[in-house]
Amino acid sequence: MRSSSIYLLAAACSLLLQSCAAQCSEEEASCKTGSRYILKDGKKALELVQVIVVHRHGDRTPITKSAGSFVQTEELKSIWSSKINGHESVRRWGVSNRDDTGTYITHNISSSSSWPFGQLTKRGAAQMRRVGAELRERYVGDLNFLPVDLPADHSEEKFFIYVRSTRYPRTVQSVQNLLLGLYPEDTRLEESGAAGVITIESQEKALDHMTGLSDKRCPRVRSLLSQIDTTVKPQESHVRLLDELAVRINHTDSQQDKMVIDVWIHLADVCHCHRSHGMDVPFGLTPNEIDSLMDYNTWMWSTRMNTPELSKLAIGGFLQDILRELKATVAGTPRAKLLVFSGHDSTLFPLLKALDAFDEKWPPYASRVQLELLREVETGTFYVRLLYNNQLRHMLGSSDEFLPIELFFSKLAGMESANIHEECHRQ
């Protein structure tokens, strides 16, 4: 009698799923009955199993106080200070999105000589709230993948969300705002007077591979860059632009600090920040000149990332973390349903290059990569697909939006390392 009941229940569930699939659109949909299916050409029912989000921080103040002979004045510093979130607002973000290192509040006007540079702006915080709201719309609303409310029981948190950030105030503050968009305060259930809290993890900067192309973390990068940068040949238009700008900003080759972030990165950053906030642009650079300089920087970094060893050193360690999570989930080990990683353009740039999904455009503020792990209901086969800023992207040379997970793993096998730290310090 008991086995018969189980059989009838299983049959009923099967009919319910078939009915739900029939109601869904052919391209992509989630039925309102509680299932989590994405349909491919109306043929395969794919259940969403895990989502990995890697994002850049939101809009910030210029990362540097100077560029060439330009130096931010006290008046400009005051203007930038007015664009940053107040200290009390920042503290409130940490109440329900806990950063145990205190990184998100360490840089303030009394404790940092770099203030107010490299700080998340009010605009940046709003951008990240919107990103969180979009994730909520997709994974809570449309796909019914995440719970509507954040449980107050912290022991349950690890089973549906994991958050990690680099140790910079702007990245921790960015993911705090993303989380407030994903789970606003009124969705954080209270239990015994305590509302639901999400913990943000981080690693020491010297060991954190989320920082991307860093010669401080990875000394081997510097020697590779010196080889690459002396052999590549910029387009003639780039050469003319840099020659003209060098005169205008009073820059010479002898002043060039052979660092990953060089004078041209700094100049483009300062000019972009001033332009986007309606402030006078240093050296009177025109919008076309700023865009051309960004094009050069993008080309240069993209060329660098075409070198397999440099690409591996830049993003291999972090990519290995991602692959480890996916492999554990595929193997049936309980892992978080949603993983969120808060980083920089230097995180997304090499990641997109490694996935062969780069569009030759510098990742804007608040850009994000979403890797969705799906399982075919009928066969149990796993697939992965990529969204970049809410747009579907093909990756790793495939023309199919759903890439078999084993193919995904094999394509990226060359990026894994038995000891990436040792490789970074090899002479």
CATH pick for 53-369+387-397+406-427 out of 3.20.20.70, 3.40.190.290, 3.40.50.1240, 3.20.20.10:
3.40.50.1240
pTM comes to 0.89
- What count of residues does the chain have? 427
- C-alpha span between 422 and 188 (Å, rounded): 43
SS (H, E, C) 302-327: HHHHCCHHHHHHHHHHHHHHHHHHHH
3-state class of 23 per DSSP?
helix
Q: Report the SS3 class of residue 300.
A: helix
Residues 166 and 79: beta-carbon distance below 8 Å: no
Q: What is the pLDDT along the chain (427 residues), one digit of tens a residue?
A: 434 443 344 444 444 444 444 444 444 444 433 457 887 767 789 999 999 999 999 999 999 888 888 999 999 999 999 999 998 999 999 998 999 999 999 865 444 557 899 999 999 999 999 999 999 999 999 999 999 998 776 555 556 899 999 999 999 999 999 999 999 999 987 765 556 889 999 999 888 999 988 888 888 988 898 888 888 888 999 999 999 999 999 876 544 554 566 889 999 999 999 999 999 999 999 999 999 999 999 999 999 999 999 999 999 999 999 999 999 999 999 899 999 999 999 999 999 999 999 999 999 999 999 999 999 999 999 999 999 999 999 999 999 999 999 999 999 999 988 788 889 888 7
The first and second tokens of residue 1, run together, are 């009698």
99, containing H or E segment? strand 97-99
The residue with tokens 């994974």 is: 139
How much is the pLDDT for 122? 97
The structure tokens listed for 220 are 């081997």
Of 163, 167, 183, 186, the C-alpha closest to 175 is 163
21 token code pair: 């699939």
The conformation of residue 168, written as its DSSP 8-state character, comes to S
Closest CA to 40 of 395, 378, 396: 378
b (16+ CB within 10 A) / e for 367-385:
bbbbbbbbbbeeeeebbbb
Query: Which tokens go with 310?
Result: 């440099």
Q: How far apart, in whole angstroms, are the C-alpha atoms of residue 184 and residue 399?
A: 38
Q: Torsions phi, psi of 197, nearest 5? A: -125, 140
| Per-residue model confidence (pLDDT) at position 213 | 82
**Using only C-alpha atoms, what is the Rg of the chain?**
24
Give the residue from 342, 356, 339 showing the smallest Cα distance to 394. 356
